[in-house]
Amino acid sequence: MLVVTTNDIPGWEIQRVCGEVFGLTVRSRNAFAQFGAGLKSMFGGELQGMTKNLAESRNEAMSRLINEARTKGGNAIVAMRFDTTELGDVWTEICAYGTAVQAVPVTDAARYTASQLGYGGPAQPQQHPHQPQQHPQQPHPQQSQPQQPQPYGAS
């Protein structure tokens, strides 16, 4: 899924706004980790455990954001932002939010990006991980098939 922090996507035409989407995670704060981080911050240096936890939290929020955008029919997210909130001194909320849209590439550069993201090919049905893979029947080479526009963002 194409996710940008800008309000538009250069080289792409936004054909439909699917709505606001967000993904969030709330993490409890470990008192012992906080104490250790406090000591480390007095002497300088990266707080590697905290950095790892924050990166994992952001990735989780982004994953949920993307899933919600897909659920609403989007293939891209514009105006994506992160927000963090401390709840008491116990929890931290990390929220990723933006606007889900259906966007179509209109320039060669955008079409290249779309191909790198897997957009534009035939739509593949959502496959449950425990179902055997299904292979669609191919038309006979001499049968002519009407050309259908392919949906973008079927990834």
This prediction has a pTM of 0.68
What local confidence, expressed as pLDDT, does residue 146 receive? 40
Q: How far is CA 92 from the centre of its chain?
A: 21
Crossing angle for the helix pair 48-71 and 31-43, nearest 10 degrees?
Answer: 120
Residue 63: pLDDT band by 50, 70, 90 thresholds?
very high
Domains of the chain, first to last: 2-104 (3.30.110.70)
Say if residue 131's pLDDT is above 70.
no
Which tops the pLDDT comparison, 146 or 41?
41
Say if residue 89's pLDDT is above 90.
no
Separation between Cα atoms, residue 37 and residue 30, nearest integer Å = 10
In tens, the pLDDT along 10-24 reads 999 999 999 999 999
Share of the chain above pLDDT 70, in %: 66
State the DSSP H helix or E strand holding residue 136, giving kind and residue range, or none if neither.
none
- Decide: 80 and 3 in contact? Cβ < 8 Å: yes
Separation between Cα atoms, residue 61 and residue 121, nearest integer Å = 28
Tokens matching residue 118: 């897997």
